[in-house]
Amino acid sequence: MKTEMITLKHGDASIKMPASSLAKLAMASVFAQVLPPAANVQPVPQPPTPEIGQPWPGQGGINGGLVHARGDVPAHYLIIATKDVGSLEWGGRGVEVKGLSKTDGYINTQVLIGNDDERKYPAADACAEYQADGHHDFYLPAAAELYQGWLNCPEVFDQDCYYWSSSQRSANTAFLMHFGAGIQDNDDKYDELRVRPVRRFFI
């Protein structure tokens, strides 16, 4: 089948091409005028990072500051829930739970809520059940994470009480934080202390 050719002339210049090629060029020209060039597509602006101690919209709480990468955990922001989940026992008195950390509250909480020793760990359970802004990855902070809260924004915690961490001191005690006095200590796992969930916002 013979290819249909078209000749275009402008002044003294002329060009001969297949009709199908001309149709493709015409369509490309139309799309170029209707659609903006890719270079002109503006990126979606990212909202600014709020100041430490201020609510972070959409993240379920307050900006507790940057946590640098440690081990297998990438760098992230610590998001502190805007409210306590009550005063609760740490739980499991008399049992030294294996695999707990002074720095990684997420792992601690997973170990505690998944423990098969048939004992309850109310503080960790309450944090794992907490949800805000559609996020349900909250956990009971480790001792180091509570300390970061005291360093960066102690005012977002109540000042006249103790808060449980998920870090264990012994079979009978676990670490706590008092934000008014800036004290880290340990207390009996049977005692009911304040509990504040946190989560991680990876960057």
Q: Write the pLDDT tens digit of every residue in 84-116.
A: 999 999 999 999 999 999 999 999 999 999 977
Mean pLDDT to the nearest integer, 4-30: 63
Residue 38, pLDDT > 70, answer: no
Could you tell me the maximum CA-CA distance found in the chain, to the nearest angstrom?
Answer: 99
Instruction: Using pLDDT thresholds of 50, 70 and 90, give the confidence band for residue 119.
Output: confident
Mean pLDDT to the nearest integer, 120-143: 97
Task: Report pTM.
Answer: 0.78
Instruction: Using pLDDT thresholds of 50, 70 and 90, give the confidence band for residue 165.
Output: very high
Q: Is 191 exposed, middle or buried (0-12, 13-18, 19+ CB in 10 A)?
A: middle
Interstrand relation of 76-80 and 61-67 (parallel, antiparallel or unpaired): antiparallel
Instruction: Using pLDDT thresholds of 50, 70 and 90, give the confidence band for residue 4.
Output: low
Rounded Cα distance, 203 and 65, in Å: 12
Average pLDDT, the chain: 88
pLDDT of residue 160: 96
